[in-house]
Structure 1
Amino acid sequence: MKISIIRPRDLGEAEVKRWRDLQLTHPDLASPFLAPEFAIGVDRFRAECTVRVAVVEDATGIVAFFPYERGALGTGHPVGFGLTDLQGIIAPPGLRLNARALLRACGLGVWDFDHLLAHQPTFAPFHSVRRVEPVMDLSGGFDAFADKARQAAPKTHKTIRYKERKLGRDVGEVRYVFSSDDRADLRRLMEWKSAQYTRTGRTDRFARPWIVRLVQHFHETGFGVLSVLYAGDEPVSSHFGLRNGHVMAGWFPAYDLRFGKYSPGMIGHVHLARGCAGHGITEIAMGRGGKEFKEGLTSREIPIAEGRVARTTPGAGVHWLRTTPLNKARGAVLDNPALYKRADRVLKTYARLKGRAG
């Protein structure tokens, strides 16, 4: 095997075509987070770390791409770590590489992952936790999806329909714009999302200029799709997702808090499914997390894994001390609904107290 290291932005046309061909040939790789556009975009805007791609070749040509970020002391992460809901090596499902040899070629002492495609054999021995990511399956069209979803969670969908009718009566006729190219719509979504992060005690991703520029770039190039739900002339909720062919990755949903009693996020997700089905998208990956509403919209699940590959280096030891106890604690919370709700309440209380102190 020959392994070459290159910046994503320096990939040639033939290499990008091979990357896309691997995604087309193997549907499990179709996520936008695994697309060359995502790696190239992060490489362009994220200056805090080194973004690279390992191009793996054998006698037949290129067999795999391994995009990664390299930080201090040779600590590695998937590209866009903290923003991605699916990670992995872009390779045929049966390809098994020596993971530590791959890290050595990349100059990494450790590679830390938290949303890795669980079936990939190269990293299978290094899983510490396995979970699932929910998917909305639209391959049979919206009506077929909606029928199955209603049968699986009739109370949830009855509530959504009731609240949508009430929103229409109280505020104005409900309508949905599947794809908006208006920059003002994107700014409003980021403002709503920043307010939500602050309100719930989470880190505000849009306080980081490189993430703002990345999202704007994806919006301008069409790799990102911005959808808006209206009641009359009032924008009620928005969603910014990434599209790669027939797959949509949910990314940033947000809503106007004034309309919170109508569950605008739930209503928006149903309209998003309808819009996607009408625009050639056959699945929406909703991301891992403890959001209860996803249970009423989930058609199937993608197995994902959390873990780390490490070589015997000082940087790997420092990384273990810094991250492993925290990752275990976070995993325990995510896997226990009662703990998740309790942690969510603590974060919201902290946010309120912080806001008063400010």
Structure 2
Amino acid sequence: MAETLQVEIMSAEAMDAAAIALWRDWTTTNPALTSPYFRWDYTQIAARVCPGAAVAVFRRGGRIVGFFPHQKRGGSVQPLGAPMNDYHGVIAAEGETITLEQVAHLLHARRLNVPGWIGAAETGQARETVQVAMPDAGFDAWYAERRVTFGKYFKDKERARRSLEAELGPVRVERGLHDPALLDQLIDLKAAQYRRSGLHDIFACGWTRDLLHALMADPRPDFGASMAAMHAGDKLVAIEFSLHAGRHYHFWFPVYEPSLARCSPGILLSMDTMRLASAEGFRVFDFGFEGESYKKYFVNARQTVREAVVMRPGLTQALGDAAVGVLDKAGGRGEALRASLRRRWSTIEACEASPVGRLRGAAVAVRSAVSKAAARKKTARVAHV
């Protein structure tokens, strides 16, 4: 008979050296756990900042068989650092299976929301994340293959670089930056972008900003967060915040000067960052979820994850469905839209640690959905005329 799976919930601070050693071993030997988000270092730093942080320690017969770092919002549970982390799952040895549904049951979660689950699950829908798997020969070999496969696209980017230099001056890129003022500048630009797009400003709650600062301020031998920046002449034209561990480099928060969009500074920065980082030994460059059109020209590898919400009947499910229902009525109908609205509500729920904050965020989302719906109707009427 299989041993019963049990769980103990504890703070990251309470983890002892033996448990941490297991965690570190599993994230370096289990090929499913190569993302920096699975490292003990990420959990240790994030747990100091994220409201409601905890670690689920799973045992069979007294032996530790897995960990799941998470945060609680009332009766809801999310992966630690949500809504910002792209990958999550149970940290365990290769071959050990602890399903998403088991995690939700053992955590007594009324609602467990996972946008990028890696591991066994019966719930939810598959999503694709995309990566560049750099050959051992490095950036030049990768770029030569891409330029043959997508010659028109990359010739256009070479022209964009020449245009940027002609307009503003020589282009230079720096990587491995840890300047707090530059990070604040990136966050402010990203927050403004969210507001312009009508999305929830994930940095308005405060702790998400603190998380990026905490990760960047604590570099470790095989783990860290840093920025890359591109200048053209004296002008800062693009910044990107990334997380990295082992040979895995995760592009996280990019921003660029909107007035220079025609010169593709964000894309040029990503290319130069890969060139510099690959020379340091990085071989997987993760672009997160597919979606933006430029990614198809870069990536040559994919990973399937699951987006799922595991819910128990009760108040949390009712409130979650009610919130999505209000947004749905405001913004229109359709499965794709409902999935988008559920993601929006999940973002609000994860960011805002208080009920008042979640209510405020939902109200802003409703106003945005109503405004977009009105604009679509106006455009449709004009087109019909």
**Superposition TM-score, scaled by structure 2 size:** 0.78
Of the structure 1 ranges 174-183 and 291-300, higher mean CA displacement relative to structure 2 is found in 174-183
> Is contact 1:100-1:310 (8 Å) kept?
no
How far residue 109 of structure 1 moved from its aligned partner, in angstroms, is 2.5
Does 1:163 pair with 2:145?
A: no
Aligned to 2:203, the other structure's residue is in SS state helix
How far residue 99 of structure 1 moved from its aligned partner, in angstroms, is 4.8
Count of residue pairs brought into register by the alignment? 331
In structure 2, the partner of 1:43 is 47
In structure 2, the partner of 1:95 is 96
Name the CA distance, whole Å, in 2 between partners of 1:196 and 1:69.
Answer: 26
> Is contact 1:150-1:157 (8 Å) kept?
yes
How far residue 83 of structure 1 moved from its aligned partner, in angstroms, is 0.7
Spell out, residue by residue over 1:236-260, the C-alpha distance to the aligned partner (whole angstroms, 9 max, x if none).
Answer: 1010011122111111100122322
Aligned runs of 1:1-358 on 2, under 5 Å?
1-47=5-51, 50-59=52-61, 61-72=63-74, 74-97=75-98, 99-117=100-118, 120-121=119-120, 124-127=121-124, 129-140=125-136, 141-222=138-219, 223-311=224-312, 313-322=314-323, 328-330=335-337
> Is contact 1:139-1:283 (8 Å) kept?
no
Aligned to 1:195, the other structure's residue is in SS state helix
> Is contact 2:50-2:80 (8 Å) kept?
no
Name the CA distance, whole Å, in 2 between partners of 1:112 and 1:13.
Answer: 30
Amino acid at match of 2:58: V
How far residue 139 of structure 1 moved from its aligned partner, in angstroms, is 4.1
**In 2 relative to 1, CA 208–233 (structure 1 residues): closer, same or farther, beyond 3 Å?**
same
How far residue 107 of structure 1 moved from its aligned partner, in angstroms, is 3.1
Identity of aligned residues (%): 24
Spell out, residue by residue over 1:184-211, the C-alpha distance to the aligned partner (whole angstroms, 9 max, x if none).
Answer: 2212212221222222222222222111
Name the CA distance, whole Å, in 1 between partners of 2:335 and 2:78.
Answer: 17
Structure 1, unmatched stretches of 5+, are 335-345, 354-358
Name the CA distance, whole Å, in 2 between partners of 1:317 and 1:151.
Answer: 53
Amino acid at match of 2:10: I
Name the CA distance, whole Å, in 1 between partners of 2:253 and 2:100.
Answer: 32
> Is contact 2:50-2:71 (8 Å) kept?
no
In structure 1, the partner of 2:345 is none
Which has the larger Rg?
Answer: 2
Name the CA distance, whole Å, in 1 between partners of 2:322 and 2:312.
Answer: 15
RMSD over aligned Cα atoms: 2.6
> Is contact 1:52-1:68 (8 Å) kept?
yes
Structure 2, unmatched stretches of 5+, are 329-333, 342-367, 376-385
Spell out, residue by residue over 1:201-242, the C-alpha distance to the aligned partner (whole angstroms, 9 max, x if none).
Answer: 222222221111111111111221111111122211010011
Name the CA distance, whole Å, in 2 between partners of 1:195 and 1:309.
Answer: 32
How far residue 273 of structure 1 moved from its aligned partner, in angstroms, is 0.9
Amino acid at match of 1:42: A
Aligned to 1:179, the other structure's residue is in SS state strand
Name the CA distance, whole Å, in 1 between partners of 2:340 and 2:204.
Answer: 26
How far residue 171 of structure 1 moved from its aligned partner, in angstroms, is 0.9
Name the CA distance, whole Å, in 1 between partners of 2:187 and 2:201.
Answer: 10
**In 2 relative to 1, CA 98–237 (structure 1 residues): closer, same or farther, beyond 3 Å?**
closer
> Is contact 1:133-1:303 (8 Å) kept?
yes
Name the CA distance, whole Å, in 1 between partners of 2:135 and 2:60.
Answer: 35
Spell out, residue by residue over 1:11-43, the C-alpha distance to the aligned partner (whole angstroms, 9 max, x if none).
Answer: 223222211211110122111122223223332
Spell out, residue by residue over 1:52-103, the C-alpha distance to the aligned partner (whole angstroms, 9 max, x if none).
Answer: 111122358322111222222x221111222111121112343223655543
**Superposition TM-score, scaled by structure 1 size:** 0.84
Name the CA distance, whole Å, in 2 between partners of 1:323 and 1:281.
Answer: 41
> Is contact 2:90-2:98 (8 Å) kept?
no
Aligned to 2:122, the other structure's residue is in SS state helix
Name the CA distance, whole Å, in 2 between partners of 1:176 and 1:17.
Answer: 37
> Is contact 1:149-1:298 (8 Å) kept?
no
Amino acid at match of 1:161: E
Of the structure 1 ranges 167-176 and 203-212, higher mean CA displacement relative to structure 2 is found in 203-212
Aligned to 1:160, the other structure's residue is in SS state helix
How far residue 321 of structure 1 moved from its aligned partner, in angstroms, is 5.0
How far residue 143 of structure 1 moved from its aligned partner, in angstroms, is 1.6
Amino acid at match of 1:23: T
Aligned to 1:194, the other structure's residue is in SS state helix
Aligned to 2:64, the other structure's residue is in SS state strand
**In 2 relative to 1, CA 281–60 (structure 1 residues): closer, same or farther, beyond 3 Å?**
farther
